[in-house]
């Protein structure tokens, strides 16, 4: 275990404010040693561990994200509530400084044992609603660091998550180059999947691509959507209805009414309160450029903000305020016990940058079935149960 993995935090308590949570059921899947890059708050890790991918090492440079990972891991071990990240060592460092051998040493495994490497390099450089600096932005070059780690670790399989804007940026030249490099002259068969995650029962519209590599030449088909809008008569009876903002927020209570991590709201001026109150469901506030959520629809994509700050939730459908980091975390399908380190802007950035754990679990089951040739099934309800998400 690395020395920096033994650090503790004074600003993220493991008692969770006295709130009691039921111990989660443990899945019985055979563990597959895995490595997590650009881990953030652990959204992909939570989902992948549901079906037995055992995260042995996380690489993340953000201090508060690392505190989030370590403290939640230790909270699970201390209380017996969950086993997420139980085997994980957290490397807190810029990935440019991290070698494949350092990862293997931290993970306590040999190269041939690495079954999966997964992660989502920061994607703001390619966001369609951002400035789209692409590879001119330092974050764009992190794609090539993912390639380097794959080259050094030679895992059996890998998954790279990014924004769908990568498909259209510069006429997909970057995406095509990335896939070509990740194939390593035919060593890996590459599949590119493009998903609207709301189509899989996540209460948020969020489009992302997943680049999946198989060293055994296995072509993985895309997942079939399970949810959709019931406004389309052709989908009735075929798909389940989208999960909605109203379902997620129901029963949570206002900030201050319940003792739950990260459920503290911003203090707004009277002018902002009146402006938010005047908005209709789905309408955008022109000054803050966030939207009033519609309780009968999935949320808009969570706004991350810039490196200097600016991350914020959207506007609560019933109360004239921005949603809290906990409410945003629910829209991302994090369990309520998963606490995020830092002041208000740190948790919302961790939440907004994450892959929703529920979607990650469904994707991980699909990957395990097709790339590892295991006849497993994971129902939507089972995924919720294993994650401890009891509000959907």
Which residues are tagged catalytic? 123
Question: SS3 for 325-353, per residue?
Answer: HHHHHHHCCCCCCCCCCCCCHHHHHHHHH
Cα–Cα–Cα angle for 56, 60, 62, rounded to 5 degrees: 145
Q: Round to whole Å and give the CA distance between 375 and 266.
A: 47
Q: Round to whole Å and give the CA distance between 136 and 164.
A: 18
Q: Round to whole Å and give the CA distance between 123 and 140.
A: 7
CB contact at 8 A, 116 and 215: no
The 116-119 sheet, strands edge to edge: 89-92, 53-60, 32-37, 116-119, 157-163, 207-214, 189-196
b vs e for 290-323, b when ≥16 Cβ sit within 10 Å of the residue's Cβ? bbbbbeebbbbbbbbbeeeeebbbbbbbeebbbb
CB contact at 8 A, 165 and 131: no
Task: Specify the residue for token string 């890059």.
Answer: 37
User: At what angle are helices 345-353 and 63-79 packed, to 10 degrees?
Assistant: 80
Cα–Cα–Cα angle for 169, 172, 173, rounded to 5 degrees: 105
DSSP secondary structure string, 28-80?
-PPPEEEEEES-TTSHHHHHHHHTTEEEEEEEE--HHHHHHHHHHHHHHHHHS
Alpha helices (H) in 257-356, listed in sequence order:
270-278, 325-331, 345-353
Task: Specify the residue for token string 């052709």.
Answer: 234
Q: Round to whole Å and give the CA distance between 316 and 324.
A: 9
Task: Supply the Cα-derived Rg of the chain in whole angstroms.
Answer: 20
């Amino acid at each position: 275990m690395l020395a920096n993995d033994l650090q503790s935090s004074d600003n993220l308590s493991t008692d969770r404010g006295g709130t009691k949570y039921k111990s989660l059921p443990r899945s019985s899947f055979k563990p597959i040693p895995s490595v997590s890059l650009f881990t953030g708050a652990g959204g992909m890790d939570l989902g992948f561990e549901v079906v037995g991918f055992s995260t042995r090492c996380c690489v993340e440079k953000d201090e508060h994200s690392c505190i989030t990972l370590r403290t939640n891991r230790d909270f699970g071990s201390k209380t017996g509530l969950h086993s997420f990240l139980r085997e994980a060592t957290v490397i807190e460092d810029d990935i440019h400084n991290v070698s494949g051998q350092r990862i293997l040493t931290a993970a306590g495994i040999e190269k041939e044992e690495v079954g999966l490497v997964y992660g989502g390099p920061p994607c703001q450089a390619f966001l369609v609603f951002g400035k789209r600096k692409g590879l001119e932005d330092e974050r764009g070059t992190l794609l090539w660091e993912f390639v380097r780690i794959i080259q050094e670790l030679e895992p059996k399989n890998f998954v790279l998550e990014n924004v769908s804007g990568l498909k259209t940026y510069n006429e997909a030249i970057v995406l095509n180059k990335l896939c070509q490099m990740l194939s390593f002259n035919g060593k890996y068969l590459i599949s590119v999947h493009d998903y609207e995650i709301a189509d899989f029962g996540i209460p948020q519209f969020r489009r992302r691509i997943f680049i999946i590599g198989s060293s055994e030449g296995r072509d993985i088909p895309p997942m079939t959507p399970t949810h959709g809008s019931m406004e389309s008569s052709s989908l009735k009876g075929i798909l389940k209805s989208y999960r909605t903002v109203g379902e997620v927020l129901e029963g949570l209570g206002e900030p201050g009414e319940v003792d739950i991590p990260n459920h503290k709201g911003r203090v707004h001026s009277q002018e902002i309160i009146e402006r938010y109150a005047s908005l209709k469901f789905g309408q955008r506030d022109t000054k803050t450029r966030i939207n009033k959520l519609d309780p009968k629809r999935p949320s808009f994509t969570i706004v991350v903000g810039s490196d200097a700050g600016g991350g914020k939730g959207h506007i609560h459908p019933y109360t004239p305020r921005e949603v809290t980091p906990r409410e945003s975390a629910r829209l991302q399908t994090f369990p309520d016990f998963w606490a995020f380190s830092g002041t208000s802007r740190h948790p919302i950035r961790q939440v907004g940058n994450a892959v929703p754990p529920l979607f990650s679990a469904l994707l991980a089951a699909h990957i395990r079935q097709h790339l590892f040739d295991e006849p497993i099934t994971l129902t939507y309800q089972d995924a919720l149960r294993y994650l401890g998400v009891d509000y959907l």
